Amino acid sequence: MSTQNDFAPIVGQTQLSSVDGQAGRLAIRGYPIEELAGRVTYEEAAYLLWYGELPDTMALTDFAGQLASRRSLHPASLELLKACAAERVAPIDAIGMAVGTLGLGVAQDDAPMTLVARFPTLVAACWRLLNGHAPLEPRLDLGHAANYLFLLDGRLPSAGRVKAVETYLVTLIDHGISASTFAARVIVSTQSDVVAALAGAVGALKGPLHGGAPGPTLQMLLEIGSLDRVESYLRDRLARGKRLMGFGHRDYKVRDPRCDVLAAAAQAVYQAEQNVATYALARRVEEVAVRLLAAYKPGRRLYANVEFYASLLMHGAGLPAELFTPTFAVARAAGWVAHCLEQQRANRMLQPQTVYTGPQGRRWIPLEQRPAVRRTQLP
C-alpha cells in the first residue's frame, strides 16, 4: 500500500482522444474521427493510439504482422466458451468471463498486443460454439477486420463488408474516458495488469447504460419496416412515453460526430448488398425522430447517437444483433489498452474520497439478546 495521500477529485486526463459534446467533435490523438474513419485500417488506428503517430509503411507492416501472429486462443479459453455455450450464456457475458483467459501463457509485456490480436478470435469462437459450430483457425493473411468476419462464418468476406466493419472498428476505437475505460484505468492504477483491466472494462461495457443494449435500436428500425410507417410509429411511441432508441447521448448535445462516418459506411455496404431500402428507412427515421423529439421534448437536444448508425452498419455487414456489443468490445480493445498504458505512466492510484452517511457509534449486542430483525429482501 502507498503511503501517499495525494487525493484529488478524479477527473480523467488523457492525451489519447478528445470529446467535445457541445460542438459534436471526437478526435483520436488530434485527428478528427472523420479524417480517419474509412481511410485507415484498424491496425493503423491502434498504432496511432499507442504510439501517437500514424505508422509509415514499414512500421505498419511490422505492427500488423505482430498482431496477426498472436491471434490463436489458448485451449482453456475455448474450453470456457464451450461451457458457456452449454449453459446458453449470452455472447457478451461469455466474452466477459473469458477475457481474463486471454492472458494465459502470455508474458506481461506481450499482453497489450496479444489482447487486441485475440479479441476477434474470442468473439468469433464464442459465437460459433453457441451455434453448434467448431471455432475456426485465424487467417494470418487477412487484416484484423477481415479476419474477424472470416472467423465468424468461414467465408472470405467481400471488400464491402470488410470496409464497413473496418470503419466501425476505427470509429469506435476510443472515446475519451468512458465508464469501461475508467474501470480499466482504476484497475491498472493499483499496478495490476492489463488483462485484468480489460476484463473489468468488458464488465462495464456490457451494462445497458454503456454498450450493453444496442439491439433494440435495430429492432425499432425493423419494426417500423417501411417509410410510410415512420411518422405514425414514432409518434405513437412518444405518446406512450417510450424512448426512441438510438437518440440522445450523455456526452453529446448535438448529433454524435460518429454518425456521419458510420452512415456513409452503412450506405456503401447497403448499396453493395443491394438493400438500399433499409438505409433509406434509417435516414427517414432519423429525420422524423429529430423533428418529433424537438416537439415532444423541447430543450432536451436529443439527436441520433452512435448506436443508431452503428447498429444499422453492423446489420448491413451481416453481423447478428447478439454480436453488436461484443463487436464494440473488439473495437474498443486497442483503446482500453492505450488507456491502461497511459494510466501506468501516470502512476497514481484512482480511489475516490469517501463520504460516510450512515449511523455511527453503535455497540455490539450478543446474538441471543438482539431484538428481532425485520426480514427483508436484499437491500
Catalytic residue annotation: 249, 307
The answer to whether residues 244 and 289 touch, using CB atoms and an 8 Å cutoff, is yes
Question: Given the complex with a second copy, which of 14 and 227 has the nearer CB atom?
Answer: 14
User: CA 257, 207, 311, 322: dihedral to nearest 10 degrees?
Assistant: 160
In whole angstroms, the minimum distance from the beta carbon of 251 to a second copy comes to 8
Question: Given the complex with a second copy, which of 19 and 162 has the nearer CB atom?
Answer: 19
Residue entry with cell 506481450: 110
The answer to whether residues 246 and 305 touch, using CB atoms and an 8 Å cutoff, is yes
CA 200 to CA 330: how far, in whole Å?
14
Question: Given the complex with a second copy, which of 53 and 287 has the nearer CB atom?
Answer: 53
Question: Given the complex with a second copy, which of 286 and 318 has the nearer CB atom?
Answer: 286
In whole angstroms, the minimum distance from the beta carbon of 253 to a second copy comes to 8
Q: Beta partners for 18?
A: 27
3-class DSSP state of 166: helix
Residue type for position 359: P
In whole angstroms, the minimum distance from the beta carbon of 187 to a second copy comes to 5
What does the block give as the cell for 325?
456489443
Q: Which of 270, 311, 304 is nearest to 287 (CA)?
A: 304
What does the block give as the cell for 44?
493503423
Query: Rounded to the nearest 5 degrees, what angle is found at the Cα of 247, between the Cα atoms of 241 and 250?
Result: 105
In whole angstroms, the minimum distance from the beta carbon of 266 to a second copy comes to 19
In whole angstroms, the minimum distance from the beta carbon of 227 to a second copy comes to 27
In whole angstroms, the minimum distance from the beta carbon of 341 to a second copy comes to 6
CA 213 to CA 110: how far, in whole Å?
32
The answer to whether residues 201 and 183 touch, using CB atoms and an 8 Å cutoff, is yes
Question: Given the complex with a second copy, which of 62 and 228 has the nearer CB atom?
Answer: 62
Question: Given the complex with a second copy, which of 50 and 127 has the nearer CB atom?
Answer: 50
Phi, psi of 18 (to 5 degrees): -130, 140
